[in-house]
Amino acid sequence: MDTKSLRLFALAAEKLNISAAGRQLGMAPAVASAHLAKLERAMGAELLHRSTRKVALSLEGAEFLPYAEEILAQETAALAALGRGSPTATGTLRFAAPSTFSQLYIAPILPDFLERHPGVSLDLRLSDTPFDLIEGSFDLALRNTAISDSSLKGRKLADDKRILCAAPAYLDRHGTPQYPDDLAGHQLIGFMGQAPRPLAGQSGEEARFDPRQARCRLTVDDGNSQKVATVAGAGISANSLWSVHGELAEGSLVRVLPDYDVADQSALWLVYPKSNVLTAKVRVFIDFLLERIGRAPAWITS
């Protein structure tokens, strides 16, 4: 299908003026009319009603327009993937991400991104409770979990190693667990809606971190609040290394059961709906996050 004719049709539908759409594409009025007539013959339908006074989108044209726009967007994305076309990144990008990770790693680097790409605006939705990408009409999201939704595609940003930790003061009062079974006698901090965490020992031992089966008097839905409560001595919690590596280095938190890792196959993923075209604004933001965060994660290199 001739994408030049499709682009002309989309512009004419927007402007309701075939001559103006043609001029934008460098076509004389007669050439533009011929291109549209050829497209209509190929489609077997009149896409635009023409009269001496005005142009109007036909019913068939209104039904066809979204498909034409999708084909044009796919062409742009395909050229960008091959390093051709060099489409300028423009528009508003709707991005959903965990608030705790964003405060630590994304918010501080946003001025650099906005300076690099003056045509892009960011509409951020930050919460440790995941958003529905499709219902929320998000272009992109950061998920720190294993991807199980078949309607999503993604790029891995970084590993998301998770560990058990507690404050030294808590362990002084309640003792340090030596084996996973010892967790049943401790105050465990739960994260709202989270399933029990599988634990894997260095020699293949299997266990679980399950606050619901222990003394869980504190449940939170915000990762930073969980960390603050853990530092304050509220109990033992499962945390991402990116969240607590600073506290571990300074000694306000220590690992609990250091021979065991949380084995839930989670990672930090940049995900987007499979049905979405990877537009220039999404592509440049993904590349930026991979460059600034994924290439050398601070919680691993520091």
pLDDT at 104: 94
What is the percent of the chain where pLDDT is above 90? 54
Same domain, residue pair 166 and 255: yes
63 and 106 belong to one structural domain: no
- Mark whether 250 and 290 lie in a shared domain: no
The residue range of the domain holding 201 is 162-262
Residue range 273-302: mean pLDDT, rounded: 82
User: Is the pLDDT score of 167 beyond 50?
Assistant: yes
Distance CA 119, CA 66 (A): 24
Query: Which residues, 6+ apart, have CB-to-CB distance to 218 below 8 Å?
Result: 187, 189, 190, 229, 234, 235
CB atoms within 10 A of CB 113: 17
Helix (H, G, I), strand (E, B) or coil at 111: helix
User: pLDDT tens digits, residue range 58-97?
Assistant: 999 999 998 988 888 877 777 665 555 556 788 899 999 9
Q: What is the pLDDT of residue 106?
A: 96
Hey, how many other C-beta atoms are within 10 angstroms of the C-beta on 17? 14
* Number of structural domains the chain divides into: 3
Provide the terminal-to-terminal Cα distance of the chain, rounded to the nearest Å: 53
Domain endpoint, select from 81, 113, 136 = 81
Which of 52, 81, 110 represents a domain boundary (last residue)?
A: 81
Q: Convert the pLDDT of each residue in 187-198 to its tens digit.
A: 999 988 778 889
Choose the final residue of a domain: 54, 81, 108.
81
75 and 194 together in one domain: no
**Per-residue pLDDT for 297 more than 80?**
yes
Residues contacting 79, CB < 8 A, separation 6+: 85, 87
39 and 154 fall within a common domain? no
Instruction: Say which CATH number the domain at 149 has.
Output: 3.40.190.10
The pLDDT, as a whole number, for residue 78 is 72
Residues 143 and 17 placed together within one structural domain of the fold: no
128 and 96 share one domain: yes
Mean pLDDT over residues 115-126, rounded? 92
In a domain, 87, yes or no: no
**38 lies in some domain:** yes
pLDDT at 302 over 50: no
Residue 202's domain is classified under what CATH number? 3.40.190.290
Rounded average pLDDT over 7-16: 90
Whether residue 167 is found in the same domain as residue 44 = no
3-state helix, strand, coil in the chain (%, to 5): 45, 25, 30
Specify whether 68 is located in the same domain as 186.
no
**Is 255 found in the same domain as 169?**
yes
